Amino acid sequence: MLDTDKIAALRSADVPPALHLIEGAAQPASDGGTLPVISPLDGKELTTLARGTAADAEAAIASARAAFDDGRWSGLAPGARKAVMLKWAALIEANALELAVLGVRDNGTEIGMALKAEPFSAAATIRYYAEAIDKIYGEIAPTAPDALGLVHREPVGVVGAIVPWNFPLMIGAWKLGPALAAGNTVVLKPAETASLTLRRVADLALEAGIPPGVFNVVLGEGAVVGEAMALSMEIDVMVFTGSAPVGRRLLENAAKSNLKRVYLELGGKSPNIVFADAPDLDTAVKVAANGIFRNSGQVCIAGSRLLVERSIHDAFVEKLRAFTETMQVGDPLDPATQAGAVNSARQLEQNLRFVSEAEAAGRQVFGGKRIREETGGFFMEPTIVTGVAPEDSIAQREVFGPVLAVIPFDTEEEALQIANGTDYGLAAAVWTADLSRAHRMIRGIHAGLVHVNTYGGSDLTVPLGGVKQSGNGHDKSLHAFDKYLDLKTAWIKL
Statement to judge: residues 240 and 119 lie in one domain: yes
Q: Is the pLDDT of residue 296 over 80?
A: yes
Statement to judge: residues 427 and 482 lie in one domain: no
Statement to judge: residues 298 and 402 lie in one domain: yes
- 412-419 vs 435-444: helix crossing angle, rounded to 10: 30
Statement to judge: residues 275 and 207 lie in one domain: no
> In the annotation, is 252 catalytic?
no
Statement to judge: residues 56 and 85 lie in one domain: yes
Q: CA-CA distances (angstroms) from residue 343 to 94, 192, 365, 389? A: 26, 11, 22, 28
Q: Which residue among 265, 381, 398, 412 is the active-site one? A: 265
What is the model's pTM? 0.97
- The reply to whether 464 falls in a domain is no
d(CA 163, CA 103): 14
Q: Read off the pLDDT of each residue in 286-313 and give the average, rounded to a whole number.
A: 97
Query: Quick one: DSSP state of residue 475?
Result: B
Statement to judge: residues 250 and 157 lie in one domain: yes
Q: Read off the pLDDT of each residue in 131-152 and give the average, rounded to a whole number.
A: 96
Statement to judge: residues 277 and 250 lie in one domain: no
Q: Is the pLDDT of residue 377 over 90?
A: yes
Statement to judge: residues 356 and 455 lie in one domain: yes
Which residues form the domain of 417?
271-459
Sign of CA dihedral 482, 71, 30, 258: negative
- The reply to whether 394 falls in a domain is yes
Statement to judge: residues 260 and 276 lie in one domain: no
Query: Quick one: DSSP state of residue 459?
Result: -
Question: Where residue 356 sits, what CATH number does that domain have?
Answer: 3.40.309.10
| Each residue's pLDDT tens digit, 239-282 | 999 999 999 999 999 999 999 999 999 989 999 999 999 999 99
Question: Where residue 487 sits, what CATH number does that domain have?
Answer: 3.40.605.10
Q: Read off the pLDDT of each residue in 450-471 and give the average, rounded to a whole number.
A: 96
- The reply to whether 339 falls in a domain is yes
Tell me what pLDDT residue 398 has.
97
Tell me what pLDDT residue 332 has.
97
Domain count, the chain: 2
Tell me what pLDDT residue 1 has.
76
| H or E element that contains 26 | strand 25-27
Q: Which of 424, 412, 417 is nearest to 467 (CA)?
A: 424
Neighbours of 16 (CB within 10 A): 10
Sign of CA dihedral 385, 108, 263, 225: positive
- The reply to whether 357 falls in a domain is yes
Q: Which of 27, 33, 22 is nearest to 62 (CA)?
A: 22
Contacts of 486 (CB under 8 A, 6+ apart): 153, 154, 155, 156
Q: Contact, 237 vs 260, CB < 8 A?
A: yes
| Each residue's pLDDT tens digit, 206-237 | 999 999 999 999 999 999 999 999 999 999 99
Q: Which of 46, 40, 170 is nearest to 100 (CA)?
A: 170
Tell me what pLDDT residue 185 has.
99
Q: Is the pLDDT of residue 10 over 90?
A: yes
Helices and strands counted in the chain (H then E): 16, 21
Q: Read off the pLDDT of each residue in 24-42 and give the average, rounded to a whole number.
A: 98
Statement to judge: residues 275 and 260 lie in one domain: no
- The reply to whether 53 falls in a domain is yes
User: Where residue 482 falls among pLDDT bands split at 50, 70, 90?
Assistant: very high
Statement to judge: residues 291 and 209 lie in one domain: no
- The reply to whether 466 falls in a domain is no
Neighbours of 61 (CB within 10 A): 23
| Each residue's pLDDT tens digit, 163-206 | 999 999 999 999 999 999 999 999 999 999 999 999 999 999 99
Q: Determine how β-strand 427-431 pairs with β-strand 271-274.
A: parallel
Concatenate the DSSP letters of all residues of 149-200 into one string. Answer: EEEEEEE-SEEEEE--SSSHHHHHHHHHHHHHHTT-EEEEE-BTTB-HHHHH
- The reply to whether 103 falls in a domain is yes
d(CA 130, CA 80): 10
- The reply to whether 295 falls in a domain is yes
Contacts of 12 (CB under 8 A, 6+ apart): none
Rounded to the nearest 10°, the torsion over CA 372, 167, 197, 349 is -40
User: Where residue 31 falls among pLDDT bands split at 50, 70, 90?
Assistant: very high
d(CA 338, CA 330): 8
Neighbours of 187 (CB within 10 A): 30
Query: Quick one: DSSP state of residue 391?
Result: T
Statement to judge: residues 225 and 329 lie in one domain: no
Q: CA-CA distances (angstroms) from residue 72 to 63, 91, 219, 445? A: 12, 22, 24, 45
Tell me what pLDDT residue 457 has.
84
Residues in the chain: 494
